Structure 1
Amino acid sequence: MNKQLSLFDNDPNAQRDFFTRKREWSVAKHRIILKYLQASCYNLAALSDTINYIDGFAGSGEYEEGAIGGIEEFIKNSPFWKRYEPNFSDKDGSPIIALKTSRILQAEQRVNLRCFFVEENRERNQKLRDKCSAVGEGLGYKIYPPSGFEEILDNLMVDLGQGLSKPCPSLFFLDTFSPNGVGFESLKRIAEYQINFGGELFILFHNGYLSRQVGNAMSEKWKQQGKTTGDTFAKKVDSFFGASSKKAWRQKWEEIKRTDSPPQTFAKWAIEHYKQKLRDECSFKGVVSFEIKEEFNSVAPKYHIIACSRHPEKAFGVLLNDLVYEENKSLFFRDNFNQNLSEFLEQDWQRENQDQLKILKPHITRILADICSEWTLLDDAMTRLILTLDREGILSMGKLKRKQYRSEVFIPLYQKGILEAETVGKQGLPRLTDRVRVR
């Protein structure tokens, strides 16, 4: 097997190596981008004939080596996607995936997907230009001169409305390699735009790299080498979390050291703290997160993806939940090299689903007492349950499929008499379009 490169390698060439070969956990991100772009654009087309896609850390557009079983395998096995013959490649990076999706939408005359790419590194920026010119003819896209995302942000915000009678919904994907790339104040500006004009914000939250930066900022080693070095790390973390968290993250780190807590404790606190700030200070109605793992039994994820929206019910509770569920399921395929096929670990997968149900069941009566206190469409109640479980840190989005919430949660509660239904279907069970409430 090929060696997987570590995203959090101490090697200064780690970022360069990251763009050499696509890893499985990058494939998962790209499949989600592909599927969500299509689903979201179909959904938003009723509101606007133009949608903006912004890739804030675009890379070179193409990896030197793709991951076997990545985008190409997904397209081949998808009745929906293979009908378009979009010529996706396992080597494609997120900008090229976006442009090829834009061409499909253009051919359907459904919506105009305009793409904006930011890449700071000069060499990768030039490669991106070369690659986009080869696949993007006739499409609306812009590549900014080599600069950091925050340096470009003023111009970008102006460009999002250029040539339009009014600004349109915008999908931001901020795949920063480290916590240094986007400060919290910049996220507030993006949030303000989206509250006014719509769209979603996706942020890759690299738990391990953040914890390392915090450790460096608080390390006696760096303090002994001089105040300036320690302050540099601390300022980066302060910018990432925002001014209101300067005291909070330092106190949490000291508490963890004092109580000798497990290594993942700070990372878990950090992501929940960050999500709450996005709700409180950026006024996003919905903020959810999900893990991207290397293997299904990995102790810790490679990173989280945080998604923010002003309309999370359809965007996340419906569209994104099942996309993430399918990505989680893909981790349970194991290559059988002797027979040259992929084996699905059915027992492990079923055990994973049962474990998720065990986690949520102690909380379900309390949550439904709130969201189903009045007559509520079963479909809407499922959506609100998914978002509530994630917000309370009980079960992150995508751990169960929507139909499982109906069959494994709502129907058993109805059969036990805990829920009542205003109407039912031919089988005597509430349908998605029936209204339910707690007795």
Structure 2
Amino acid sequence: MSLEENSEGLTVPSWASTVLVRATLQGVGFGSGSADGARVANVTFSAAASPGDSYCSALLRATAELEGAQGHGGAQTVLLKGPPAGAAAAAAVAQGGHFRRETIMLTQLVPKMEALLEAAAPGRFPPLAARCPLHGRRPVHFLVLQDLRPLGFQPAQRRRGLGLRHCLLALRTLARYHAASAALLAREPAAAAAARALGNPMRPGGPATFGPFVEASLRLAAAACRAWPGFREYADLLDALRPGALEAFAALLDPAPGRFSVVAHGDFWLNNMLFRYERGRPVDMRMVDFQISCVASPAIDLLYFFSTSPSEDVSSRHEDLLLREYHVALRDTMELLGLQAPPLEALQAALDAHGAFALFGATGVLPLVKVDAAPDVNATAGGDADAGAFMYEEPAVKAWLQRVLPEYKRRGWLRL
């Protein structure tokens, strides 16, 4: 088996070849040496995410040409996920425990959630995420992942935001995921212990991984507000929040004793969703990137989604509808699992109690959605905190912030 670099000049990190050889020898991935006689002739690598779209990791697609067995010609692919390029960014990700967290999610918790759903309603629910047949810590923290592209899954168009059909599918999927995770926490002590072992992703590695990003996002958003007529008070409010913002956001991720908690995805925005379409309509979805999952209020995922992912039209007109549809799906799925969901009013109260977390999405993540060429957030983790200054001049970012900041102030979300 020969290993070739991408024809477009992609620099393949040395760990990728090592991991791929290990996966193949263990019968994972391309199945070299399997009983059907298929042989891996050569492998090429390509980037599995657009520049700036893979955060806190490097994501590669390995494509193998197979020969020597009837019915097994052509190509097969797997995804390889490892640390980001650059020593500083890789060190920050390691300190934050991102790969440890995602490994627990994809090898222990998500498969258990899917098994619970299948047992409750056989054949009714599709998988929640890609399979992870191999993971390890040598030569680096890595994951070998099922490639969902051959099954028809693809990302949505980022700059537009998600239309209503996409949003409904995303939130119904999230509700199913939350319901299954609540069942794990309530009924499976070993799984509950593994979920709590995920920890809070903003502690203790938060200062290294999130600190520069949070500080820069609020500072740059404040600077933009200061230049907009009538928005100086929002600049002052955002500047006042900066010193305590990271700790305040971390505290919002802590589960409240006696309150409804789930295993939050933690990074539930449109970049971490893949959709399958039929006749141009989204009909199925998979979640990806579980690096900052944690036990928390479901409000965390909802606020993160609402502040980053819907289109302008959906965000301004249909948020109440989306919350109701999420709650219906949560209630119905929890009933299938023999549990009772909190009432809609309790969910709305949780959103208000955690509302300041919307700032994390709106000031930090939303700009990444709305620009043509998003900066590499790994550069922020590596110390280049101002890499995204230009984003706040983007008209779509300006329009979004000018719409939501007055609403956040009215709801009391600009106080930490």
* TM superposition score normalised by structure 2: 0.27
* TM superposition score normalised by structure 1: 0.26
Select the structure with the greater relative contact order (CA < 8 A; seq sep ≥ 6): 2
